[in-house]
Chains A and B, each alone.
Chain A
Amino acid sequence: MSQAKPVLRVVDLQVSYYTEAGRALALDRASLELYPGEKLGMVGESGCGKSTMALAMMRMIKPPGRIEGGQVFIDDVDLMTLPEPKMRKARLSLISYIPQGAMNSLNPVLRIEAQMRDAIKEHLPTMRDAEVQARIYEALESVELRREVARMYPHELSGGMKQRVCIAIGILLGPKVIIADEPTSALDVVTQRQVMETLDRVQKQLGAAMILIGHDMGLMAQFVDKVAVMYAGKFTEISPVRDIFTNPLHPYARALIESLPTLNNKGVFKGIPGLAPSLINRPPGCTFHPRCPEAMEICKSVPPALIHRWDGRQVACYLYDHDGRRADEPAAVSAR
Chain B
Amino acid sequence: MTQITIASPQAQTRSERYQHPSRLTLTLRYLRRNKSLVIGLAIALALALFSIVGSLTIDTEKLAYPLAVKPKQPPSPEYPLGTDFFGRDMLAVMVRGVWQTAVIGLIAGAIGTGVGVVLGFLSAYYGGAVDTLIRGITEVLLPIPAFLILVIIAGSIDRRSVTIYTMALIVSLLAWMGPTRIMRAQVLSLKERLFVNVAKLSGMGNLEIVFKEILPNMLPFILASFVSGVFAGIFSSFGLSVLGLGPLREPLIGNTIWFAQQQAAFFNGWWWWPLWPTLALILIFVSLTLINIGLDELANPRVRRTE
Contact = CB atoms under 8 A, between A and B. Distances in A.
B8 A273 contact: no
A293 B8 contact: no
Which residue of B1, B2, B6, B8 has the most chain A CB atoms within 10 A of its CB atom?
Answer: B2
Interface residues of B, number: 8
A197 to B, nearest CB: 36
Contact of B7 (A270, A274, A293): A274
Contact of B6 (A268, A270, A272, A275): A275
Interface of A: 268, 270-275, 293
A270 B5 contact: no
A228 to B, nearest CB: 24
Interface in B1-43: 1-8
Contacts of A268: 1
Nearest to A274: B7
Contacts of A274: 5, 7
12 contacts: A270-B2, A271-B2, A271-B4, A273-B2, A273-B3, A273-B4, A273-B5, A273-B7, A274-B7, A275-B6, A275-B8, A293-B2
Nearest to A269: B4
A248 B3 CA distance: 21
B4 A275 contact: no
A268 B3 CA distance: 11
A268 B4 CA distance: 12
A296 B147 CA distance: 80
B234 to A, nearest CB: 40
Contacts of B3: 273
Contacts of B5: 273-274
A273 B1 CA distance: 11
Nearest to A268: B1
A273 B3 CA distance: 7
A272 B8 CA distance: 15
Nearest to B5: A273
B246 to A, nearest CB: 48
Q: Which 6 pairs between the two chains have the least Cβ-Cβ distance?
A: A271-B4, A273-B5, A274-B7, A273-B2, A273-B4, A270-B2
A104 B218 CA distance: 33
Nearest to B1: A270
B114 to A, nearest CB: 41
Contacts of B4: 271-273
B11 to A, nearest CB: 11
Nearest to A258: B2
A272 B1 CA distance: 10
A272 B5 CA distance: 9
A60 to B, nearest CB: 26
A225 B181 CA distance: 59
Contacts of A275: 6-8
A271 B2 CA distance: 7
Nearest to B2: A273
Nearest to A293: B2
